[in-house]
Amino acid sequence: MNEAQRVLELVTEAGELMLKNGAEVSRTQQTMEIMAKSLGVADFHGYVLTNGIFTSVGPENNMPAQVRSVPASTVHLGRVEAINQLSRRIAAGGVSLDEAYAELERIRKIPCAPALRQVLACGFGSACFAILFGGVWQDGAVALAVGLGLQLVLLGLERWGAGKLFTRFLGAAFVALVTLLIFATGIGVNSDKAIIGALMPLVPGMALTLGIRDLIDSDFLSGVIRMLDALLTAVCIAIGAGLVLAVANLIEGVAL
C-alpha cells in the first residue's frame, strides 16, 4: 500500500468513526479534507451521507477508493472531539502518518460511559423533566424510578441486539406501563407529567437537530434521512406509550 492509499485509509476511518459517534455530516467531510490535505494528499475526493462515506484519491485513471457503510450506533461525542483534536494536530504538522494511525486506534477504544452512570443520568434526567413540565416532587420521584428502570431495559435490549425503532417502542411501552402501575398504588399526583418526563430520554433530539443543521447547509439528502429517522422514532415512542394508555383505559381500576 503506497502513501496516498494509507492516507485515504486513515482519513476514511476517521470519518467513519466521527459519523458513527454523532458528528455532523458537514463537519465530518471538512475534517477528512483537512486531514488529507495536511498529510500531503491534495487530490482527495469525499462524499459523506448520514449512513455512508465515499472517498477516493489520485488521478482519474488510477484512483483508489473507499466505501464505508456507517450504521447507527451509540453517540460518543468524546470520540468526535478527540478526532477533531487529532485533525488540528495533523494540520499543525506535529503528527506523522504512523502516529496518526496509532492515535486513531486509541480514540476508537475510548470507552462509553459506565452503565451505572447512564442509568443514573436517565433517572435524574427523567425526574427533572417531569418537574419542568409542571409535575410536583412526587411525580419527579416516580419519573426517577421509571427512568432508572428504562435505562436498564434499553441496555438489555442493546445487548440483545434489538433494533433502534423496536427498542424505542418497547421503552415507551415500559415507561407508560410502569408509571401507571406505580400511580395505581396511590403514589404520585400527575401521571401524565411523570410519563412525559420519563419518555424524554427516548426523544430523538440529536437526530432532529442534525437533520435541521444538514438542511440549513443545503445537504438535503442527509437532512431528509435524519429527519425521517427522528420522525419514525417519535412515531414508535407514541405508539408504544399510546397502546399501553389505550389498554389501561379499558381496564377497570387503573387510575389515569
pTM of the model: 0.84
Residue with the larger pLDDT of the pair 66 and 128: 128
The closest alpha carbon to 36, from 83, 4, 69, 62, belongs to 4
Question: What is the predicted pLDDT for the residue at 59?
Answer: 67
Which residues on neighbouring strands pair with residue 56, listed in sequence order? 45, 65
Share above pLDDT 90 across residues of the chain, in percent, rounded to a whole number: 59
Grid cell locating 48? 459523506
Question: Considering the chain, what is the average pLDDT of its residues?
Answer: 89
Looking at residues 204-224, what average pLDDT do you find?
88
Domain extents in the chain: 3-108, 115-250
Question: What is the predicted pLDDT for the residue at 249?
Answer: 86
Angle formed by the axes of helices 97-108 and 3-20, to 10°? 20
pLDDT at 186 over 90: no
pLDDT at 106 over 70: yes
Tell me the CA end-to-end span of the chain in Å, nearest whole number.
Answer: 66
pLDDT at 81 over 90: yes
